[in-house]
Structure 1
Amino acid sequence: MLFLLLILVSATNALTLYVILRNNSDTPFDKVIRYAVLVSLVHSVYALCARYYFADSPFIDSGVPFGLLYGPILYFLAFSNDEKRPSRKNILLHLGPFLLVTIVYIVFLVKAEVLQNFSLPYFIILYSGKVLSMVLYVSYLFLNQKKMIADGRLRKLINSGATWLLLIASLFASLIFSKVFQKEEMGALFPGVILYGVMLFVSLLIFKYCIDSLLQYSKTEEALSDDDLQMTKKQYQKSALTPEILREYEQKLNEMMEKEQIFLDTELSLESLSRKVKIPKHHLTQLFNMTINQTFYQYINSYRVSYSCQLLLDEPETNLEEIAFKSGFNSKVTFNRYFKNLMECTPSEYRQS
């Protein structure tokens, strides 16, 4: 059972990492997601090797300090939601306990006699530290989540991770009690099925989020390539629409965009745009391809990016997630992609500059 769980966790993390790389997003939030999945993958592979190649040395698995990483990762996920990039000093501050305990862990692996003399204090400090870290980070997140996380989908993902982290913290607390007061062996007690079952569930949540983000981007990226545009132009060369009619259409469309700002409608589609401007859909398609030289999504999102630039300057305290929705984007991923493509910087970098 445990072997199967570890295989599933490792496979899910590996697949998620592949999806993240396919998504090719370099926003701070997606970078933290990438590191979180990588940590979980290394943890599950390490546990798999430790439990089945070093079964006679339970300390190799039960003494590893990976648990000290998950609280900081949860914090950085929430922190990076607003495109913020933590400083190196901030990163070292939060990862300091893990790095320090890792050094001690390596010393114990090398010096078996030291482990025999200090194993009990090490386990008490390690697992107490894991419990304290998880509880403090989760408490901070729950108290500040509305301020830190505007997107309901991201909030649901992070809150799910936080809830399961509390479950693991309670598990570790019971291990400390058993170790100190009942003198049980940690290796024999360590309930790996529960721990790695939780890891599998959280890994599946992250995998679903990454798949949804990839599909969302693919859906909004219904833009044609340059070759496709050229091919479409050839198809329209024999069209009955004269250049004068196309110019009238373009003027009418631009006026609607500038005066009525219909691009702010997050549900705007080619069909609904056709109804709003009273231009047949196939005429609009020809207008985009023959005169404007942009696809529908490129044209609409250029207005949205321009509008968001003004919001970023006029509303310095507004969360970037809210800026995206106010500008007409229906996801932060799409907002970041189009913004960086057109402005050659991220929204946060634009605001700071």
Structure 2
Amino acid sequence: MIDAANAIQLIFAFTAMFGIILVWPSTRFRPLSLALLMEASLMLCNFAEESGLSQQLWGETLITPIFGLGFGPALFLFTRGLVFSNKGLAFDQAIHFLPMLLVFSLAAMPQLIIALGTISLVVYLSLCWKLMRDYEQASRDRRSDAQNLTLTWLKLVLILYITAIAVDAIRQNLQTELPISILEPWYIATLLVYLGLCCFLIYKGVHQPELFDGLEQYQKEALEALDPPLDETANSLFEQINKQLLEQKLYRTPRLSLSDLSEHTGLTEKDISWAINQGGGQSFADYINRLRIDEICEEIRYNDNRSLLDLALAAGFNSKSSFNTVFKRMTGKTPSQFQKEALN
């Protein structure tokens, strides 16, 4: 007889398999298919072991702990696929899952496998976090709209996933201490959390967020020697760039990128980035957005009759939410608070 947990496992498995079909057309989200396949396989194996079907198929051996060695690599490859525009699925990525095959010989020691899986997960999640940090730094250094390209949603998913794993580990360790009336709802709640995270990732794969495409070039330039121009210092070159930006109001260009500025100034992207970082002491996104905020603040002080949104759009912001976020971060006040104080 199928209980509530078994029903959720089957729903989870078929949701994940349907999700694979939905996200597969997207190259950048295609690695998510591996994570979804892992989840679907795990849920089916859980169902088989808990319903007794596994005894007819593969005997008394528990194989579900082995999946713990696969979730870390799957999440890492998914993250790498998002932050790099040219990374999809490749055959050589299968090496990340080799430990799953190697521990089959240790299937009789599930606690050891669980421990190895935990270590693997910690290592791969650390790599995921580094990739996201590099991605966000690169977007800030090359795009003025970097705040629209963040992977905050993915960070939240990873945090919730880690939390769910930790809570479920506590449940497993207390199985001999707590009554089934507590353990069963606890297990069902954990399954629902995992199912919710899975559905959210599928949603993101279908309704793709805007992503930054320049991490490969950013890393390539970081490996090269950043030789300063022969006749200019960082400060003087920055002043030259700043003067041209202010005179031509180039910062008003929505979604202004480092490559756009390179076309306008005739300087290389590398030299512009070097000048802004070293001479200006800030990232490209912070620099451009500071110019926009300064203009808006001046317009507010001169009692411009336009709405705050109109001022923001005229200054180069492409959405109300990004304008509000940047304004609060740079001034410590919301736009409406600043306007109210400036006009009093």
TM category, shorter: 0.3 to 0.5
- TM-score normalised according to structure 1 size: 0.47
More relative contact order, 1 or 2 (CA 8 Å, 6+ apart): 1
Q: Which structure dedicates a bigger proportion of its chain to helix?
A: 1
